């Protein structure tokens, strides 16, 4: 009686064996090539979701594949365990964040182990553990010493819901990236990391990241937003000044007919001193929400200060205005306005009746001020520009900047959209910033010997604003390390993106007690060969991690410039949604068999396919999946349904299909175990008769699976090749005439063993089990990855396509060694082709060796 595919027992068995044997533990081995495979570590929110299942399935195939290819594979996992949800849980359920986090980690670790992932669990790290965040603080102090961490009052993005500050990167369209509530602006003393000091390197480094998706690099380039131009000084009429402006279009300088200052610009109030209008405007802008003010929909408005500046090239007196659309943070907070060639300036000039002057002529048409309906922002030839007239824009810019530098009234300048990274968070569950504020000594870093500054456990977490740390006297009050006088601790904690900016380095020496990194180990493993995670981190995490890598390199702890050699951004996991007109999104169990809402009986509309989320009620719980079908099915389906970088559409039937496939493999191999247990003598391919097609198929599968993994991890087509092999195995008769018996067994055994080895990275439990039942003593992933026999995949008969005038008309079979002339003749003689050639003249015959013949005729 055949044993059923009992995935539960079988998967538990192999997970136990891997754990007992510490099968995936690795150490540095100079004799082997290394491979560092890393998936983005998760936030321990409670349970894993399908995005994790997909992410980690992809990573596990990569790790196991390279393992079998003979690499020394580092494949670690950890927990991004600081962060707001832990505090929210504390507020809602009265659980301490530490307890909540620890419990979640325990549950999720169990889930990951149930998936059979090949992690070296000895390297597990937890970012909320003092052993980890100690080194956040250490790195902070190192950066403080180098001036890369500093404090300044700043307008910050403030989320009322989270009661904290958000980095620019965490604000999406004026809303909090986490809860989508409106973000307001607030001025606070904040800690910053000087990421702008590395702006150029972060930008240039992208060019060398050939293993990164182009769109991620584009997003980072846009985010850094480098603009090359000039700073120009405009003297003030009456001797004050000058006002310095930044422009990328110094070729339009002769068209600058007024200037505009940001309302926060110190000169704004100064110049408008006598004008209540200016005072009122500046005051109004100060209180107006900055996100509203800088929204593109907001109309441009401003006031004249009453003061004039001198255009340094035309020497004209031009009025100075203050307006809402100029930002203090970008450039110098002041602009020269060229209404003819800048749309914003054009709109402003039109509204307030300011002069417009054309100084760039495009090639196609002639611009005149009279019929200018919008600014011409393109390139052209400089006109009305004194001796520069006649120069095209690009050399014109160069000529103007040279002139400005010569006259010492301007210079080349570069500006970035990128701002320094604000890392202060007014929250509890994060790394304490290791700073002490002393009235006498000012800002004093905590001495290295006193690290880590432990996050106190005995806090009261309530809904009230601000961090509970500020109310904890035992934490706040501390003697100043310099003068021993009374001082207070910094109560801000660090943005959790700090944790994830270097965790991949810590994985190389996770247990280092007295240092952040063990240099030789990091040197052996880094950089990460393959990093895998969601596209949502294209800018945030991936930019910060690159920044940290460069900082740590400059601390001489590592020697490489970029952390992630190859990046795979996996697509989202999506599923169709169901909506009731009255009750909104419905879970599948809230819809009856007839497609009606269980609540009100109205027909439910099957909505579009969207990213899985609880709010859309289209989620699938990995626990259900694992208990119904097992890990191998869950993995196989998420790998088979789509290539990894594309969105995956969840399909319950597709899961069934994956499960059926594994059942089929199981039945097939298990049914043959007795006959195949004892290895038959290997028969050379050339000597094969009845087993030839199957043997060839196995070799083709090796080729296809290997190439598909090597070429961008296209696991879906690799799995398809395995299915083809299984289909052929299913038709193969193990028993035939007595003289063939040996060959049949030998070929069947070869095909089955090949199948199991190729299947091992995808469905490791099943592969291990069947491998063992075939009589093998060691783990299947200790087997070398097979190579195919070039001889075996050669076909002896070729199917050649024959076209007449590009249309398929016949197929002919020819021996593989047929030459071009043979193909030509055979095609022309083919009876079906002949009927098409009747009454026509053959003009040309195109022959593609081994593939195709195209006969071109005169009509």
Which of residues 299 and 458 has its CB atom nearest to RNA in the complex? 299
Binding mask 718-737 for RNA (x = CB under 7 A): -xx--xx--x--xx------
b or e along 506-521 (b: 16 or more beta carbons within 10 Å of the residue's beta carbon)? bbbbbeeeeebbbeeb
288 binds RNA (CB under 7 A): no
Selected binder of RNA within 506, 744, 749, 809 (CB under 7 A): 809
Pick 67 or 666: Cβ nearer RNA = 666
Give the nearest distance from C-beta 620 to RNA in angstroms. Answer: 15
523 lines the binding site for RNA (CB under 7 A): no
Phi, psi of 105, rounded to the nearest 5 degrees: -60, -45
Q: For residues 310-329, which are near RNA according to CB under 7 A?
A: 324-327
The continuous run of DSSP H or E covering 488 comes out as strand 486-489
Decide the pairing of beta strands 442-445 and 164-166: unpaired
Residue choice 366, 606, 799, 816 for contact with RNA (CB under 7 A): 799
426-445 residues near RNA, rule: CB under 7 A: none
Question: What CA–CA distance (Å, rounded) separates 796 from 728?
Answer: 19
Residues 43-72 that bind RNA (CB under 7 A): none
**Closest approach of Cβ 612 to RNA, in Å?**
14
Residue closer to RNA (CB basis): 456 or 534: 534
Q: Interface with RNA includes 344 (CB under 7 A)? A: yes
Contact between 187 and RNA per CB under 7 A: no
Residues 651 to 690: which contact RNA by CB under 7 A? 651, 653-654, 656-658, 660-661, 663-664
Nearer to RNA, 15 or 803 (CB): 803
Q: Give the shortest CB-565-to-RNA separation in angstroms.
A: 21
Binding of residue 28 to RNA (CB under 7 A):
no
Residues in contact with 281: Cβ distance below 8 Å, sequence separation at least 6, in sequence order: 263, 302, 303, 322
Whether 537 and 40 have beta carbons less than 8 Å apart is answered as yes
Name the nearest CA neighbour of 575 among 632, 527, 642: 642
- Binding flags for RNA, 617-646, as an x/- string (CB under 7 A): -----------------------xxxx--x
Nearer to RNA, 198 or 524 (CB): 198
Cβ proximity to RNA: between 147 and 296 the closer is 296
Is the Cβ of residue 708 or residue 769 nearer to RNA in the bound state? 708
CB of 697 to RNA, least distance (A): 11
Pair of tokens at residue 314: 């035309």
Considering the complex, state which of residue 261 and residue 526 has its C-beta at the smaller distance from RNA: 261
Of residues 248, 239, 380, the one with CA closest to residue 310: 239
Q: Which of 42, 302, 312, 331 binds RNA (CB under 7 A)?
A: 331
- Contacts of residue 289, Cβ cutoff 8 Å, sequence gap at least 6: 184, 185
Residue 425's DSSP bridge partners are 493
Tokens standing for residue 25: 């533990």
Selected from 104, 126, 157, 415, the binder of RNA by CB under 7 A is: 415
Binding residues for RNA, total number by CB under 7 A: 84
Please report whether residue 16 would count as binding RNA according to CB under 7 A: no
> Which residue, 134 or 575, is less far from RNA as judged by CB?
575
> Which sign, positive or negative, has the C-alpha torsion 631, 644, 176, 608?
negative
Residue 244 interacts with RNA (CB under 7 A): yes or no? no
User: How far apart are CB 370 and RNA at their closest, in Å?
Assistant: 24
Q: Which whole-number Å values give the CA distances from 494 to 17, 423, 843, in the listed order? A: 40, 5, 77
Helices (H) and strands (E) in the chain, counts: 26, 35
Structure token digits, residue 538: 């294209």
Does residue 607 touch RNA according to CB under 7 A? Answer: no
CB of 130 to RNA, least distance (A): 34
Q: How far is the CB of 401 from RNA (least distance, A)?
A: 12
Smallest distance, RNA to C-beta of residue 214, A: 6
| Rounded Cα–Cα distance for residues 745 and 679 (Å) | 9
Instruction: Please tell me the number of Cα atoms within 13 Å of 283 on its side-chain side.
Output: 8
Question: Which residue, among 240, 252, 378, has the nearest Cα to 320 in the 3D structure?
Answer: 240
Q: What angle do the packed helices 50-68 and 692-710 form, to 10 degrees?
A: 110
| Contact stretch for RNA (CB under 7 A) within 437-445, 619-627, 713-721, 739-747 | 713-721
Instruction: Give me the least distance between CB of 633 and RNA, in Å please.
Output: 12
Residue 811 binding RNA, by CB under 7 A = yes
Gap between the Cα atoms of 404 and 119, Å rounded:
61
3-state secondary structure at position 620 = coil
Touching RNA, residues 757-786 (CB under 7 A): none
List the interface residues with RNA, window 538-577 (CB under 7 A): 539
Q: CA-CA distance, 40 to 80, in Å (whole number)? A: 9
Q: Which two tokens stand for residue 49?
A: 């979701």
Q: Which of residues 155-184 bind RNA (CB under 7 A)?
A: 172-173
d(CA 666, CA 670): 6
Identify the three-state secondary structure at position 461: coil
- Could you tell me which of 632, 650, 798 has the C-alpha nearest to residue 722? 632
* 535 counts as binding RNA under rule CB under 7 A: yes
In the window 211-240, what residues touch RNA (CB under 7 A)? 214-215, 218-219, 222-223, 225, 227, 229
């Amino acid at each position: 009686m055949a044993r059923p595919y009992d995935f539960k027992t079988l998967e538990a068995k192999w997970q136990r064996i891997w754990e007992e044997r510490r099968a995936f533990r690795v150490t540095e081995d100079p004799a082997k090539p290394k491979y560092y495979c890393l998936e983005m570590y998760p936030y321990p929110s409670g349970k894993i979701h399908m995005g994790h299942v997909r992410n980690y399935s992809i990573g596990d195939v990569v790790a196991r594949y390279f393992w079998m290819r003979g690499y020394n594979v580092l494949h670690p996992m950890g927990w991004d365990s600081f962060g707001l949800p832990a505090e929210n849980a504390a507020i809602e359920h009265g659980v301490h964040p530490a307890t909540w986090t620890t419990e979640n980690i325990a549950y999720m670790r169990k889930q990951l182990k149930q998936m059979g992932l090949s992690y070296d669990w000895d390297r597990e790290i937890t970012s909320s553990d003092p052993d980890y965040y100690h080194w956040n603080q250490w790195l902070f102090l190192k950066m403080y010493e180098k001036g890369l961490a500093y404090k300044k009052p700043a307008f910050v993005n403030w989320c009322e819901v989270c009661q904290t500050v958000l980095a620019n990167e965490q604000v999406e369209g004026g809303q909090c990236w986490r809860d989508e509530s409106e973000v307001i602006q607030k001025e606070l003393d904040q800690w910053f990391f000087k990421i702008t000091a590395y702006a150029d390197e972060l930008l240039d480094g992208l060019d060398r990241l050939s293993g990164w998706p182009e769109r991620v690099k584009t997003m980072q380039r846009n985010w850094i937003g480098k603009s090359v131009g000039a700073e120009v000084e405009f003297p003030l009429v009456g001797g004050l000044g000058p006002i310095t402006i930044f422009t990328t279009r110094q070729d339009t300088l002769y068209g600058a007919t007024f200037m505009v200052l940001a309302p926060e610009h110190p000169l704004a109030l100064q110049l408008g001193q006598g004008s209540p209008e200016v005072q009122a405007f500046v005051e109004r802008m100060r209180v107006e929400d900055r996100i509203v003010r800088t929204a593109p929909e907001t109309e441009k408005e401003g006031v004249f200060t009453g003061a004039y500046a001198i255009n340094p090239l035309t020497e004209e007196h031009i009025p100075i205005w203050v307006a809402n659309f100029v930002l203090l943070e970008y450039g110098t907070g002041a602009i020269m306005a060229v209404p003819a060639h800048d749309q914003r300036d054009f709109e402003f000039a039109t509204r307030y009746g300011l002069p417009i002057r054309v100084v760039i002529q495009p090639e196609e048409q002639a611009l005149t001020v009279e019929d200018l309906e919008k600014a011409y922002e393109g390139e052209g030839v400089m006109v009305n520009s004194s001796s520069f007239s006649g120069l095209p824009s690009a050399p014109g810019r160069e000529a103007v900047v040279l002139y400005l530098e010569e006259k010492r009234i301007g210079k080349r300048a570069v500006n970035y959209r990128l701002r320094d990274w604000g890392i202060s968070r007014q929250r509890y569950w994060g790394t304490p910033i290791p700073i002490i504020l002393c009235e006498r000594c000012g800002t004093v870093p905590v001495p290295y010997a006193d690290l880590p500054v432990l996050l106190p456990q005995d806090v009261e977490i309530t809904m009230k604003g601000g961090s509970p740390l500020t109310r904890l006297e035992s934490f706040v009050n501390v003697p100043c390390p310099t003068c021993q006088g009374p001082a207070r601790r910094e109560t801000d904690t660090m943005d959790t993106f700090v944790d994830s900016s270097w965790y991949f380095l810590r994985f190389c020496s996770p247990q280092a007690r007295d240092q952040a990194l063990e240099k030789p180990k990091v040197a052996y493993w880094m950089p990460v060969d393959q990093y895998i995670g969601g596209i949502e981190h294209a800018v945030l995490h991936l930019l910060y991690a690159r920044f940290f890598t460069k900082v740590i390199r400059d601390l001489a702890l590592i020697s490489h410039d970029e952390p992630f050699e190859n990046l795979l951004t996996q697509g989202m996991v999506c599923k169709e949604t169901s909506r009731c007109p009255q009750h909104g999104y419905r879970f599948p169990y809230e819809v009856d068999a007839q497609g009606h809402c269980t609540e009100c009986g109205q027909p439910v509309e099957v909505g579009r396919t969207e990213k899985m989320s609880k709010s859309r009620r289209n989620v699938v719980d990995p626990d259900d999946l694992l208990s119904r079908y097992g890990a191998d099915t869950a993995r196989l389906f998420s790998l088979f349904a789509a290539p990894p970088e594309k969105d995956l559409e969840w399909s319950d039937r597709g899961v069934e299909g994956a499960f059926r496939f594994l059942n089929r493999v199981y039945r097939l191999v298990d049914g043959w175990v007795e006959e195949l247990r004892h290895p038959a003598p290997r028969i050379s391919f050339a000597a094969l008769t009845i087993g030839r097609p199957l043997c060839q198929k196995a070799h083709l599968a090796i080729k296809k699976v290997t190439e598909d993994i090597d070429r961008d991890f296209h696991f879906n087509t690799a799995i398809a090749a395995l299915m083809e092999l299984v289909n052929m195995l299913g038709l193969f008769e193990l028993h035939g005439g007595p003289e063939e018996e040996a060959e049949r067994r030998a070929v069947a055994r070869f095909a089955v063993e090949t199948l199991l080895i190729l299947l091992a990275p995808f469905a490791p439990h099943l592969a291990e089990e069947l491998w063992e039942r075939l009589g093998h003593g060691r783990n299947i992933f200790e087997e070398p990855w097979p190579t195919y026999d070039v001889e075996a995949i050669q076909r002896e008969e070729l199917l050649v396509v024959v076209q007449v005038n590009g249309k398929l008309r016949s197929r002919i079979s020819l021996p593989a060694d047929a030459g071009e002339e043979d193909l030509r003749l055979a095609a022309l003689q083919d009876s079906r082709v002949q009927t098409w050639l009747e009454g026509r003249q053959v003009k040309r015959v195109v022959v593609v060796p081994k593939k195709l013949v195209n006969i071109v005729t005169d009509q």
